[in-house]
Structure 1
């Protein structure tokens, strides 16, 4: 089987002015989703590779100094129908659809990186999978992940993925959170 070329999604950004007068921007860029035939050749497995860059920017002249800020990036992932219980199509197996995400360990200073993530997906639910968070020590910070492996087992039908970037800013008076989302893609 041939490998699918990656789907590349348009860059997006959302800017808002906080109650304290700061312009906060969440930027999603370099998003790619590449679905591949699963190595186990199972009809119940979806596999792919994800890339994403998330940036946060704090600009302007607010009335109250910014005490802290963070930028986080990741994907929301959902399974259409869990078939591992056997109730849907008579397949026996574990208690629920399983998702595993891994990417090579990286040396990252000042950021949170989780090299292996696994969660349980149930029909009709969406799992929020953070790829990292970074403190904003100056007015700008970012997170870039490239070629993150994703595998979902025990799922009948497509697996939906949607990228997100969240920027949070805190002053002595207010906390503000800005989000930007990508378009859905299906494995």
Structure 2
């Protein structure tokens, strides 16, 4: 009896020795991911949503023949495409903003009488939707039963056949003037915030850019300089 108990004890002590290799054979845990770099998006993040912010182009500058330097520039521009209220696929609508400033400096030989600062946007449409019409024909037909005296009509139908014809026009540029500010002495400024710009009948890709023109007047002359912003495609 003692020999049997001793054999069982020895067998019980031997079991952990055989279980150790099985535990060691398990796969090692995955290595931790490296910490993200400060300010960098996660590796699986998609492109950030459009916040509407666009860069401004260099200012427009010109020196008038009588010695005045005209300059017009823009800062803080935003152009955000939004869903049109008409829900039509041929309509384009944008929410725009920015600050446009015109200055007249120098020691000209003439007396300045003020001028006008105009700010707005140009919308280019790749393909313009033209005339849409239905080309076809309408007929008349009857159906009925044949009796001894002839055909007795029991129904009338009006078959319609035709095709839908769409005329597309070459792309056009629509210029939308938002504000015209008359001034007596420069600098002059126009600030826009959340202004809706819309164009209809655009069947292709659309393009948007801001513009501003500064007109400086004297008794006998007008000098004009223009600014055109960076073009944004939608």
TM norm structure 1: 0.72
Q: Shift of the alpha carbon at 1:37?
A: 3.5
1:145 aligns with 2:192: yes
Q: Shift of the alpha carbon at 1:183?
A: 1.4
Q: Shift of the alpha carbon at 1:131?
A: 0.8
Q: Contact conserved, 2:113 with 2:184, CA < 8 A, in 1? A: no
- Residues of 1 paired with 2:106 and 2:130: CA distance? 52
1:82 aligns with 2:128: yes
Structure ranking higher on relative contact order (CA contacts 8 Å, 6+ apart): 1
Q: Deviations over 1:63-122 (max 9, x none)?
A: 1111231111111112222225238xx577xx99xxxxxxxxxxxxxxxxxxxxxxxxx6
Q: Aligned to 2:59, what secondary structure does the other structure show?
A: strand
Closer/same/farther in 2, CA of residues 123 and 50 from structure 1, 3 Å limit: farther
Which of 8, 21, 29 is matched with 2:75 structurally? Answer: 29
Q: Shift of the alpha carbon at 1:38?
A: 3.7
Aligned to 1:66: 112
Aligned to 2:155: none
If each structure's helix is expressed as a fraction of its own residues, which one has the higher value?
Answer: 2
Aligned to 1:118: none
- Residues of 1 paired with 2:58 and 2:221: CA distance? 25
TM norm structure 2: 0.59
Which of 173, 176, 199 is matched with 1:129 structurally? Answer: 176
Closer/same/farther in 2, CA of residues 15 and 154 from structure 1, 3 Å limit: closer
Q: Contact conserved, 1:20 with 1:174, CA < 8 A, in 2? A: no
- Residues of 2 paired with 1:69 and 1:52: CA distance? 21
Q: Aligned to 2:123, what secondary structure does the other structure show?
A: strand
Q: Contact conserved, 1:28 with 1:181, CA < 8 A, in 2? A: no
Closer/same/farther in 2, CA of residues 149 and 91 from structure 1, 3 Å limit: farther
Q: Contact conserved, 1:53 with 1:73, CA < 8 A, in 2? A: no
- Residues of 2 paired with 1:27 and 1:35: CA distance? 23
Q: Contact conserved, 2:114 with 2:185, CA < 8 A, in 1? A: no
Aligned to 1:6: 52
Provide the alpha-carbon RMSD of the alignment: 2.6
Q: Which has the larger radius of gyration?
A: 2
If each structure's strand is expressed as a fraction of its own residues, which one has the higher value?
Answer: 1
Runs of 4+, deviation exceeding 6 Å: none
Q: Aligned to 2:61, what secondary structure does the other structure show?
A: strand
Which of 43, 55, 67 is matched with 2:101 structurally? Answer: 55
